């Protein structure tokens, strides 16, 4: 029998009404003759009793410091609670189901707490459960080390669990269910005109996710791509087809439009721009190497990097601005760090080699008098740094300029 993996995010399991919708989605594919593995996130957001951030607040309320091992043990609880509540919900709808922690599902990770990488999956218990005609409900975002320590997989980890299980079980498809109708041309919370995409490539989605579209985690997309498992992003609350993610070859009537230069727009808010100047050549003085080595040592991730002999510039998240200031002061460098920026990016596999895309981007921004403070590009994206206060306006301007509505 073919297997389907369905992952339901925090937005889909937050209330009993929503969990009943989840049961309907599961029943649908069971009725079509699939064996089903359900991956769940924790229920709700900060403030709600079983949300991960609520549990962390509870522990930090006693002593702010918490060790990485204990943090993972705590953070794994939200998803475990969610599996049992989901099993109860499925039983209510007449569906037989068994709950699994990540470890019980055979998800073995490296020994790196808080951001563990999956090493291998031993799906024996899951397969046995499916053979018995039961739905396997697996806690997302977690695994276990070879020596039995509970780990978590980092931000967006439930998406990763879903994709990795899909590959290990040779699933026909991995469906990521969320609260929007699929991957949209831009974040619908900021661009109301955004519309769902019917189809896009793994590369495009991966790029959009890296550039800030939080609808799915980039690692999950990479795993599905490497394992050649089709991915679908769908809404728990509607019957739309959602977005099919493929390697670009047409499937039936679904094909990526050849004339599509820009597929979507992504953004990263609250960034800081770092500019380092020097009167002397920083290649020769070794300062270029020192800057990036010291940033790495301080665990500051840098982006939109430009290096020239007398100027280095890059962006970092605003939260790390003070830390970066200290690092650069210690290196005795002349630096300016300005906060209050956002990165807006256009993404599309179709822009490779097409002239005039940057001109169009600048035209769109200029129409609304939006200044560009920094930019970078690759074969499949162009990113511009704008003032945070102009981010939403910029997203809407680009959406219109590239006729994505």
Which residue ranges make up the site for ligand ADP (CB under 6 A)? 9-12, 41, 178-180, 183-184, 186-189, 213-215, 264
From the CB of 190, what's the least distance to ligand ADP, in Å?
A: 8
**What would the 3-class secondary structure string for 160-220 be?**
HHHHHHHHHCCCCEEEEEECCCCCECCCCCCCCCCCECCEEEHHHHHHHHHCCCCCCCHHH
Q: Is 363 helix (H, G, I), strand (E, B) or coil?
A: helix
Nearer to ligand ADP, 24 or 214 (CB): 214
Asked if 242 interacts with Mg ion (CB under 5 A), we say no
Nearer to ligand ADP, 11 or 339 (CB): 11
What does 11 interact with, of ligand ADP, Mg ion, none (CB < 5 to 8 A by kind)? ligand ADP
Residue 98 dihedral angles phi and psi, to the nearest 5° = -130, 140
Read off the DSSP letter of residue 44: S
DSSP secondary structure letters along 344-362 = EEEE-GGGTT-TTHHHHHH
Nearer to ligand ADP, 313 or 396 (CB): 396
Count of C-beta atoms within a 10 Å radius of residue 319? 12
Nearer to Mg ion, 178 or 201 (CB): 178
From the CB of 266, what's the least distance to ligand ADP, in Å?
A: 6
Nearer to ligand ADP, 170 or 189 (CB): 189
From the CB of 196, what's the least distance to Mg ion, in Å?
A: 16
Q: What does R_g of the chain's alpha carbons equal in angstroms?
A: 23
- Segment interacting with Mg ion (CB under 5 A) among 1-9, 27-35, 114-122, 303-311: 1-9
> x/- string (CB under 5 A) for Mg ion, residues 3-42?
------x---------------------------------
CA atoms of 290 and 240, how far apart (whole Å): 52
The answer to whether residues 20 and 188 touch, using CB atoms and an 8 Å cutoff, is no
Burial-class residue 115 by CB neighbours within 10 Å (0-12, 13-18, 19+): middle
Give strand pairing partners of 7.
Answer: 39, 176
Nearer to ligand ADP, 139 or 183 (CB): 183
From the CB of 106, what's the least distance to ligand ADP, in Å?
A: 23
From the CB of 306, what's the least distance to ligand ADP, in Å?
A: 27
From the CB of 317, what's the least distance to Mg ion, in Å?
A: 19
From the CB of 165, what's the least distance to Mg ion, in Å?
A: 16
Q: Which residue is nearest to ligand ADP (CB)?
A: 9
Nearer to Mg ion, 9 or 218 (CB): 9
CA atoms of 383 and 397, how far apart (whole Å): 14
Count of C-beta atoms within a 10 Å radius of residue 240? 13
């Amino acid at each position: 029998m073919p297997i389907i993996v369905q992952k339901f995010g925090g937005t889909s399991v937050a209330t009993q009404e929503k969990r009943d919708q989840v049961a309907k989605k599961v029943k649908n594919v069971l009725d079509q003759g699939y064996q089903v593995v359900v991956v769940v996130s924790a229920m709700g957001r900060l403030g709600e009793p079983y949300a991960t951030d609520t549990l962390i607040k509870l522990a930090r309320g006693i002593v702010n410091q918490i060790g990485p091992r204990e943090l993972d043990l705590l953070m794994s609880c939200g998803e475990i609670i969610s599996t049992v509540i989901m099993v109860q919900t499925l039983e209510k709808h007449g569906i037989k189901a068994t709950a699994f922690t990540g470890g019980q599902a055979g998800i073995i990770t490296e020994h790196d707490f808080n951001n563990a990488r999956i090493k291998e999956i031993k799906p024996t218990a899951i397969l046995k459960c499916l053979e018995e005609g039961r739905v396997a409900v697996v806690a997302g975002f977690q695994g276990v080390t070879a020596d039995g320590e509970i780990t978590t997989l980092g931000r967006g980890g439930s998406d990763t669990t879903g994709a990795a299980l899909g590959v290990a079980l040779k699933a026909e498809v991995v469906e990521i269910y969320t609260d929007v109708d699929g991957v949209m041309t831009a974040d619908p919370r900021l661009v109301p005109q955004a519309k769902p995409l019917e189809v896009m490539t793994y590369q495009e989605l991966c790029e959009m996710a890296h550039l800030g579209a939080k609808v799915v985690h980039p690692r999950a997309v990479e795993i599905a791509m490497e394992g050649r498992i089709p991915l679908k992003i769908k809404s728990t609350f509607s019957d739309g087809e959602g977005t099919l993610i493929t390697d670009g070859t047409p499937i039936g009537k679904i094909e990526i439009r050849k004339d599509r230069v820009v597929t979507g727009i992504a953004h990263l808010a609250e960034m800081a721009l770092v500019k380092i100047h020097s009167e002397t050549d920083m290649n020769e003085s070794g300062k270029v190497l020192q800057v990036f080595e010291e940033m790495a040592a301080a665990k500051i991730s840098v982006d939109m990097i430009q290096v020239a002999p007398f100027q280095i510039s890059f962006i970092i998240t605003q939260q790390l601005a003070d830390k970066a200031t200290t690092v650069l002061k210690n290196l005795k460098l002349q630096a300016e760090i300005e906060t209050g920026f956002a990165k807006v990016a256009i993404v599309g596999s179709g822009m490779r080699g097409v002239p005039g895309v940057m001109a169009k981007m600048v035209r769109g921004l200029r129409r609304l008098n939006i200044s560009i403070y920094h930019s970078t590009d690759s074969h499949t994206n162009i990113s511009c740094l704008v003032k945070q206060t102009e981010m939403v306006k910029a997203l809407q301007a680009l959406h219109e300029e590239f006729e994505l509505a």
